[in-house]
């Protein structure tokens, strides 16, 4: 994405007026050209949401929430994925499901579907948000990015 595409609609007035999307989902999902930089930085300000974006943005396949949560807890506790217990995974999965997924979905960063099992897929703005994350995260979150995208140790 070009700097021009990224900056479109992200002026000083956007920052003063606050977030342009609603977590409650009562407003439409912004398109890539409508993303406000303040909204992007707000959702990427949390390490678990960054992990979700790395996991989804770096994958061509849909992923289950349980699978992503297991990887996340393994990363946070610095242990192999196979050693993560339900006791460790369940609170993290509940937090992702009720807090982080809705925030990312409201921004169009990802979608999640509740049939059978919670499945997380790319949203209409995944690439734009991952582009911003890549610019910042490559310097700050290299270990997290490698783990979540499957290129680092698990």
CB 54 within 8 A of CB 143: no
Domains, the chain, ranges and CATH?
35-148 (1.10.10.10)
Whether the pTM exceeds 0.85: the reply is no
Closest CA to 70 of 31, 14, 120: 120
Q: Which residue numbers in the chain have pLDDT < 70?
A: 1-34, 116, 136-144, 151-154
User: What is the model's pLDDT at position 94?
Assistant: 94
CB 113 within 8 A of CB 119: yes
């Amino acid at each position: 994405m070009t700097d021009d595409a990224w900056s479109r609609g992200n002026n000083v007035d956007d920052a003063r007026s606050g977030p342009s999307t609603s977590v409650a989902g009562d407003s439409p999902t912004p398109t890539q050209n409508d993303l406000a930089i303040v909204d992007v930085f707000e959702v990427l300000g949390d390490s678990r949401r960054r992990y979700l974006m790395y996991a989804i943005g770096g994958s061509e396949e849909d992923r289950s929430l349980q699978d992503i949560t297991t990887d996340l807890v393994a990363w946070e506790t610095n242990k192999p994925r196979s050693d993560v217990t339900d006791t460790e995974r369940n609170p993290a999965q509940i937090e992702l499901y009720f807090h982080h997924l809705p925030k990312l979905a409201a921004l169009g960063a990802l979608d999640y579907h509740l049939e059978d099992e919670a499945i997380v897929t790319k949203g209409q703005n995944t690439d734009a948000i991952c582009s911003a994350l890549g610019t910042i995260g490559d310097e700050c979150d290299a270990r997290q990015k490698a783990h979540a995208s499957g290129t680092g140790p698990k």
